[in-house]
Amino acid sequence: MIIITNKGRWSRSSFARLLQKASTVPDTSDRIAFLSSQFLGISYQVSTLTGSEAEPEQLVINLRAVDCFTLLDYVEAMRHSITFDSFVGHLKKIRYRDGLVSYMNRNHFFTDWAQYNQACISDVTGKVGGAQTHRIRKVLNVKTDGSFFVPGIPSVTRDMDFIPSGCIDDVVLGMMNTGDYAGIYSDRPGLDVSHTGVIIRRGSDVVFRHASSIQGKVVDEDFGKYVAVSPGLVVFRPR
């Protein structure tokens, strides 16, 4: 396994100090809020990971630029860590099934997180949405023309819960916690979500902290407005 590291604004020692400071925050929600805030303003960049059906997978740690999913990878791994080396170990477990660094074992889909990281992540979509929750069976990775979104990865049939955007009212938003991982449900065949981010509560306001391709960096946005123009919502909660 080769580790490719770009620590961005941090040195190894300053990153370790950040992890140690976060470890003193006892509440999981507050810890995720603190850690994710460190990424505000960091550049958005797609496809920072290395690996394909033809190219060997390498463990990439790129803290200089993130996409919506690698942002969650790093925050979730950081909340369990107190040293850089422990962060590397947790990142392997979060990003890859059984911690095995390979293209086949990478969690390519958001619902892979709940499936393969049950020790630290739970799907609370049904709890948040209550009677408004819908369930759908999807064949992930297969487009309508039969080709694959992620070449070299087999399809998987998965039942998933989502909350339609038209049902996301103040009651549903009130059930969301700081530190929840939100997936923007995709109604396209073969996909579970189209985007992900972290929920931050500020009093009655619900904020979506995410790596925005439009703004080109990690930003905070009003979540109610953001999700209202989407097909729906999937919610995972850290244990």
Q: What is the CATH number of the domain that holds 60?
A: 1.10.3670.10
What does the pLDDT read at residue 44?
98
Number of domains in the chain: 2
Both 148 and 205 in one domain: the answer is yes
User: What's the CA gap between 227 and 108, in Å, rounded?
Assistant: 22
Both 175 and 203 in one domain: the answer is yes
Per-residue pLDDT reduced to its tens digit, 114-133: 999 999 999 999 999 999 99
Both 190 and 132 in one domain: the answer is yes
Residues forming beta bridges with residue 122, ordered by sequence position: 237
Task: Characterize the bridge pairing of strands 232-238 and 59-62.
Answer: unpaired
Both 62 and 133 in one domain: the answer is no
Both 84 and 135 in one domain: the answer is no
Both 233 and 127 in one domain: the answer is yes
Domain ranges, residue 109: 3-116
For the chain, the C-alpha Rg in angstroms (whole number) is: 17
Residues listed for the chain:
239
Work out the angle between the directed axes of helices 12-23 and 68-78 (0-180°, nearest 10). Answer: 70
Both 176 and 193 in one domain: the answer is yes
What does the pLDDT read at residue 170?
94
Both 133 and 203 in one domain: the answer is yes
User: pLDDT truncated to tens, each residue of the chain (239 aa)?
Assistant: 778 888 899 999 999 999 999 999 999 999 999 999 999 999 999 999 999 988 999 999 999 999 999 999 999 999 999 999 999 999 999 999 999 999 999 999 999 999 999 999 999 999 999 999 999 999 999 999 999 999 999 999 999 999 999 999 999 999 999 999 999 999 999 999 999 999 999 988 999 999 999 999 999 999 999 999 999 999 999 99
Domain final residue pick, 55, 85, 116: 116
Long-range Cβ contacts of 146-151 (<8 Å, 24+ apart): 148/190, 149/190, 149/191, 150/108, 151/52, 151/53
Both 8 and 108 in one domain: the answer is yes
Domain final residue pick, 81, 116, 151: 116
What does the pLDDT read at residue 156?
96
Both 130 and 148 in one domain: the answer is yes
Both 226 and 133 in one domain: the answer is yes
